[in-house]
Structure 1
Amino acid sequence: MNLPSERPTAEPATPVRNFSVLLSPTPRGAHQARRLGAGQLRSWGLPVDPARQIIAELAAHAATHGRVAGRDFRLTLYVVADTLRVEVTDTRGELLPDPQPAAPDAESGRGLLLVEALADRWGVTEDRFPRKTVWAELRLTTPEPEL
């Protein structure tokens, strides 16, 4: 009797999830990034926080410092194994982020410091000019049950 042969597949052992959307580089676009990103995380059954805060800060940074009239920014979420990667790509590749402590009385300027504090890793990838991508990664681990 001939049995069907088993062929190895190229599919990953764990599914790779991704979500990507273009948004206007405005406060409204940054708000939509936070809302859409949180909704996508919920649909995947993943915890929303602190990823929602990271999305909000990176999107606000793109809308404020990466804004070019007529050019959108892109929010991308990837989940590979136990890591969530948040990416925000804008079209101001010449302006690389540099997190600096804000003045104590400043009303803004702490966004990337928050990303640095909340993310397991973060950085900037220079892309084909004029783009850059600011990214942050979070490990998706389930807390150990208390005994």
Structure 2
Amino acid sequence: MVKGLVGTLLSVTSAVAVAGAVVAAPSAANAAAPSSALAVVAANTPATLSSTAKPHLIKYKIYWGRCKDTCRVKVRITNISRTTLYAVSLNARLKVNGKKVGSCYDYVGTIRAKHSRWGGCTVRTRTLSNMWNRWLDGEIRFDRDVNTVVHYEYYR
């Protein structure tokens, strides 16, 4: 039985929601405490994680193939859990100089526990080709960046 669909992002920030801490009003004994002390207490109170956080069962690394007027994105996906992952798929969004130039999709399949598989796709768009031609003419820089999302299902 499928328990849930879990996705993870490559970026450093996690998809975990963080709840803020609540500070109670001072009691009558602490009425003389300045209001700045409450701000210090609120800033030093640890935040709690939301109960909706899903486990991250994979890790992956991005490799670049040829990236000129077409761009090949290759991703090594490793299952770090003890469960088999089913219906693993990869979405990649390619940006050049902060501008989205295209995206691609790949179905990877099943990844057994503690094993790895390769996924990859090629971005071919007119925008990417135009950006490459502008770089060849010396008009712009060609700083590529990719944001990938991996979706999978697992059973408990």
User: TM-score scaled by structure 1?
Assistant: 0.29
**Structure index of larger Rg:** 2
Which protein is richer in helix relative to its size? Answer: 1
Which protein is richer in strand relative to its size? Answer: 2
Higher relative contact order (CA 8 A, sep 6+): 2
